[in-house]
């Protein structure tokens, strides 16, 4: 098993780099790297060697090697909350990320034997979709605790890596676990950067930006040209909620950042990779509607009819399943519990977006019943089968 894992690790690493290089060179689609056999080899490896996924495939009647992604069932994301998804002992984990758990009290756990694939995915995708257009003088300003202070946050891990890899001197976090958001320190720093004509790239969740805006009152800062802002996560019950359009308008006005340079990302602790919103940082075309997300080449997104788990065509609402090649040691193919629509992109826009995506994902929120009827299975049923180990 270990030799096979290492072979897959190298193949995935090589494919990530080939895809990243191809996308960043704006090469035509005819030269796009293909994961020949890798998707099925990875899923088959997990079916045979990851006990929980093996049992789930068996209960879904999938006991043979498939020929496409659709031949394998996506593992419901709830498994990360209620069962041990991982084929290695907890003591071997080098990182353990938790979901927020604020809505139902039970937190997902995602353990990693090795974070190098996750790190490469983070850096490659951010470079491909965002960082290539950033000035080298840009300071990355985090409104999240650092990974050192909060090691169980996958979002903190990601943003801390961006501060370290992409941030110019002066980049820093203005949020601590003990004291929360240092709003006055942050405002002072943003004013200094604006005065010195230093671009900033703010990164944080919606609730932190609301707190910042409340503290700023009527004050306005004119950030340097090229400044941008990543707005991710939600409110987590931390503060009053503001509609996304209203929040982005207010951030643009009070921070002096172009609205088209404000963007979102879509990720979760159960994944190793993220999608990024189409914005002026990753296309020179006229922007489509806001809230359209694109994935790097090593991630595949499929939407399913929750009644019978049949795949649905673009333009129709369905439950989102994601295949993330970098989830080598957990579950590469998961049913997220979110709903959305795959929106076809016109040819002119495709040609101007790195990776030339055919579709973008529009998020519609959380499914009323995150476990679709077509693959529902009570946890009593899992326990009866004797294949569940509590996290």
Per-residue pLDDT of 190-205, as tens digits, reads 999 999 999 999 999 9
Place of tokens 């000035």: 135
Phi, psi (degrees; rounded to nearest 5) at 328 = -65, -40
Tell me how far apart the alpha carbons of residues 175 and 310 are, in angstroms, rounded to a whole number.
Answer: 44
**Does position 374 have pLDDT exceeding 90, yes or no?**
no
Q: Which CATH code for domain 2-91+290-384?
A: 2.30.38.10
Tell me how far apart the alpha carbons of residues 287 and 345 are, in angstroms, rounded to a whole number.
Answer: 11
Q: What number of CA atoms fall less than 13 Å from residue 298's CA on the CB side? A: 32
- Tens of pLDDT, residues 213-232: 999 999 999 999 999 999 98
As a whole number, mean pLDDT of residues 269-298 equals: 95
Residue with more model confidence, 161 or 371: 161
- Tens of pLDDT, residues 102-154: 555 789 999 999 999 999 999 999 999 999 999 999 999 999 999 999 999 99
Question: Residue 319: beta bridge partners?
Answer: 304, 339
- Tens of pLDDT, residues 241-255: 788 999 999 999 999
Q: What number of CA atoms fall less than 13 Å from residue 20's CA on the CB side? A: 18
As a whole number, mean pLDDT of residues 294-320 equals: 94
| pTM (predicted TM-score) | 0.91
> Which of the four pLDDT bands, split at 50, 70 and 90, describes residue 366?
confident
366: which 2 tokens?
């959380």
**Does position 77 have pLDDT exceeding 50, yes or no?**
yes
289: which 2 tokens?
């509607």
Query: Where along the chain do its domains lie?
Result: 2-91+290-384, 117-263
Query: So what's the pLDDT on residue 379?
Result: 39
Q: Under CATH, to which class is 117-263 assigned? A: alpha beta
Three-class SS string for 83-143?
A: CCCCCCCHHHCCEEEECCCCCCCCCCEEEECCCHHHHHHHHHHHHHHCHHHCCCCCEEEEC
Q: Which residues contact 368 (CB under 8 A, 6 or more apart)?
A: none
Question: CB of 133 within 8 A of CB of 261?
Answer: no
| High-pLDDT (> 90) share of the chain, % | 82
Tell me how far apart the alpha carbons of residues 158 and 329 are, in angstroms, rounded to a whole number.
Answer: 19
> Which of the four pLDDT bands, split at 50, 70 and 90, describes residue 101?
low
């Amino acid at each position: 098993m270990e030799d096979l894992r290492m072979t897959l690790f190298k193949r995935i690493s090589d494919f990530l780099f080939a895809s990243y290089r191809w996308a960043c060179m704006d090469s035509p689609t005819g030269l796009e790297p293909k994961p020949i056999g890798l998707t099925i080899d990875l899923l088959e490896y997990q079916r045979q060697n990851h006990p929980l996924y093996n049992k789930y495939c068996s209960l879904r009647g999938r006991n043979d090697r498939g020929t496409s992604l659709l031949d394998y069932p996506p593992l419901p994301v709830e498994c990360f909350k209620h069962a041990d998804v991982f084929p290695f002992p907890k003591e071997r984990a080098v990182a353990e990320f938790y979901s927020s758990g604020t809505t139902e009290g039970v937190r997902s756990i995602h353990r990693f034997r090795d974070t190098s694939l996750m790190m490469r995915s983070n850096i490659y995708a951010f470079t491909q979709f965002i960082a290539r257009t950033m000035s080298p003088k840009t300071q990355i300003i985090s409104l999240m605790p650092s990974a050192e202070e909060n090691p169980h946050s996958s979002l903190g891990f990601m943003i801390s890596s961006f501060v370290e890899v992409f941030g110019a001197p002066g980049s820093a976090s203005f949020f601590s676990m003990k004291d929360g958001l240092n709003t006055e320190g942050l405002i002072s720093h943003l004013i200094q950067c604006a005065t010195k004509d230093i671009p900033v790239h703010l990164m944080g969740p919606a609730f932190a930006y609301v707190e910042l805006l409340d503290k700023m009152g009527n004050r306005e800062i004119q950030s340097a040209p090229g400044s941008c802002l990543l707005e991710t996560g939600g409110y987590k019950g931390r503060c009053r909620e503001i509609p996304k359009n209203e929040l982005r308008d207010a951030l643009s006005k009070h921070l002096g950042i172009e609205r088209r340079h404000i963007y979102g990302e879509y990720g979760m602790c159960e994944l190793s990779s993220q999608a990024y919103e189409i914005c002026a940082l990753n296309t020179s075309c006229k922007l489509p509607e806001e809230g359209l997300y694109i994935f790097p080449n090593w991630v595949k997104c499929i939407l399913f009819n929750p009644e019978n788990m049949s795949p649905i065509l673009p333009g129709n609402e369905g439950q989102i399943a994601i295949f993330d090649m970098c989830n080598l040691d957990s579950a590469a193919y998961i049913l997220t519990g979110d709903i959305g629509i795959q929106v076809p992109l016109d040819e002119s826009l495709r040609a101007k977006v790195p990776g030339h995506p055919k579709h973008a994902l529009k998020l519609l929120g959380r499914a009323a019943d995150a476990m679709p009827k077509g693959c529902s299975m009570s946890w009593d049923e899992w326990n009866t089968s004797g294949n569940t180990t509590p996290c």
